[in-house]
């Protein structure tokens, strides 16, 4: 084993040590995802989803690169498991 000093970055988690505790953020990871998805520099707005809408296998166009879609979904799943505050809406 080798001591590499204080942890600062690990698996997309940025670790900041301060006198009142350890703080973790994922700003760099999220910016990388936004850039990969082509959403960097865009603005957000609410789009409500249709309730009880049935998606069919043959509806719509096929994705030009399904690998990119799988990568983004896996990254979002990782993000929501490390950040439960963005996983659930609390009223």
In this structure, is residue 75 part of a structural domain?
yes
Minimal CA–CA distance to 33: which of 1, 6, 68?
A: 68
Total tally of structural domains belonging to the chain: 1
In this structure, is residue 3 part of a structural domain?
no
**Which tens digit of pLDDT belongs to each residue from 28-46?**
888 888 898 888 788 877 7
pTM of the model: 0.64
In this structure, is residue 1 part of a structural domain?
no
Long-range contacts formed by 36-44: CB under 8 A, 24+ apart: 36/68, 36/71, 36/72, 36/75, 37/72
Cα(first)–Cα(last) distance of the chain, in Å? Answer: 47
pLDDT value of position 89: 57
In this structure, is residue 78 part of a structural domain?
yes
pLDDT value of position 87: 65
**Which tens digit of pLDDT belongs to each residue from 55-65?**
788 887 877 88
In this structure, is residue 88 part of a structural domain?
yes
Give CA–CA dist 78/2, Å, rounded.
28
**Which tens digit of pLDDT belongs to each residue from 63-74?**
788 898 899 989
Give CA–CA dist 33/86, Å, rounded.
15
Q: State which residues form the domain around 86.
A: 27-40+63-91
pLDDT classification of 19: cutoffs 50, 70, 90: very high
């Amino acid at each position: 084993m080798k001591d590499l000093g204080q942890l600062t970055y690990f698996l997309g988690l940025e670790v900041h040590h301060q006198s009142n505790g350890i703080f973790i953020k994922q700003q760099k990871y999220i910016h990388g995802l936004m850039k990969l998805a082509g959403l960097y520099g865009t603005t957000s707005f609410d789009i409500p989803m249709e309730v009880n809408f049935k998606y069919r296998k043959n509806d719509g166009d096929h994705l030009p690169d399904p690998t990119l879609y799988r990568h983004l979904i896996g990254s979002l799943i990782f993000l929501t498991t490390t950040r439960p505050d963005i996983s659930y809406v609390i009223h």
